[in-house]
Amino acid sequence: MKIGFIGLGNMGGPMAKNLAAAGHDVTGFDVAGVTVEGVAQAASAPDAAQGADIVVTMLPDGPILRRVAAEVIPAMQAGAVLVDCSTVDVESARAVAEQAQAAGLGFVDAPVSGGIGGAQAGTLTFMAGGAERDFATALPLFEIMGQKAVHCGGAGSGQAAKICNNMILGISMLGVCEAFGLAQKLGLDAQKMFDVVSTSSGSCWSINTYCPVPGVGPKTPADNDYKPGFAAELMLKDLNLSQAAAGAADADTPMGAHAAALYAAFVEGGGKGRDFSAVLPWLAGRHRGE
């Protein structure tokens, strides 16, 4: 396929590279002028979109997505599909879907899970919303960039699934960090704690795969001085999106609200640029009054 790829940052760059390595004709654009191996460089977002069968966007937030969509949709050929892999608010995803459909284009909102490592390894999970035919068109690309793609429903459903998933992740990571902090205070060895919990009812991804304690379990950002990984400010962004969605849907999410408040305090208190699991040493330091 001929693919336009807009947004070649820490996530988009490796994703575009994997598509090019698989033999697709990929033209990319990034406002920072980033270049990616195997990807032709366009002078603008509309230039990258022109003549493409599929245009993929990986952008920071909803307002930027809306702005880029307004530029690229008029440049896209009829019948092409716009696939947005950003994590944005559900309303922005649905608004862009309506614009694309009005222009005779397909649209899929397909946020991802798996972080920078997953983007590089091509093991992302895609949560997709949109028409079945548009999902089927994009599926071969998802299979290159990731290991799993789930069609969650109509436009905006991918974003809904992503923010619900990451609300669980934020809440569970805080619980894991609090438990390890308590275990330490009670004199329990961190490795013994891991050995018990990882095979017991407290088992979860935040323990088994992404343990926030250095030297315990599989290698994680905790073993690399908490360099992300998944940055704390991105977790805060997703938790804020979940709370905005909860407010709009009149859903009661007290744990999600508390997680958002704690991550806001962490980011403001020096956590920006650190992995979201670095909330563990932050909580310990907060207890000591640091």
Question: What's the rounded Cα separation, in Å, for the pair 151 and 157?
Answer: 8
Sign of torsion, CA 239 242 244 247? negative
pLDDT per residue as tens digits for the range 10-65: 999 999 999 999 999 999 999 999 999 999 999 999 999 999 999 999 999 999 99
The two three-digit tokens of residue 109, written as one number: 């909102």
pLDDT of residue 96 exceeding 80, the answer is yes
Mean pLDDT along residues 80-92: 96
* Burial of residue 153 (number of CB atoms within 10 Å: 0-12, 13-18, 19+): middle
pLDDT band at 286 (very low <50, low <70, confident <90, very high): confident
Residues 6 or more apart in contact with residue 221 via CB below 8 angstroms: 210, 227, 228, 229, 275, 277, 278
Give the DSSP H or E segment for 126: strand 124-130
Mean pLDDT along residues 167-184: 97
Mean pLDDT along residues 204-221: 96
List the chain domain ranges: 2-153, 160-285
pLDDT of residue 289 exceeding 70, the answer is no
Give me the CATH code for the 160-285 domain, please: 1.10.1040.10
List the alpha helices (DSSP H) in the chain. Answer: 12-21, 45-49, 62-72, 90-102, 115-121, 132-145, 157-185, 190-197, 205-208, 232-249, 254-266, 279-287
Half-sphere exposure of 238 (CA within 13 A, CB side): 24
pLDDT per residue as tens digits for the range 121-161: 999 999 999 999 999 999 999 999 999 999 999 999 999 99
pLDDT band at 290 (very low <50, low <70, confident <90, very high): low
Residues 6 or more apart in contact with residue 99 via CB below 8 angstroms: 69, 70, 73
Alpha-carbon dihedral of residues 140, 95, 233, 145, nearest 10 degrees?
Answer: 0
146: nearest Cα among 175, 166, 119, 124:
124
Residues labelled catalytic: 162
Mean pLDDT along residues 222-236: 95
Matching CATH number, 2-153, of 3.30.1490.70, 3.40.50.2000, 3.40.50.720, 3.30.930.10: 3.40.50.720
pLDDT at position 115? 86
- Return the SS3 of 19: helix
pLDDT at position 229? 86
**DSSP per-residue codes, 81-94:** EEEE-S---HHHHH
pLDDT at position 24? 98
pLDDT at position 288? 64
Question: What's the rounded Cα separation, in Å, for the pair 43 and 98?
Answer: 27
pLDDT at position 287? 63
pLDDT at position 252? 98
220: nearest Cα among 198, 248, 240:
198
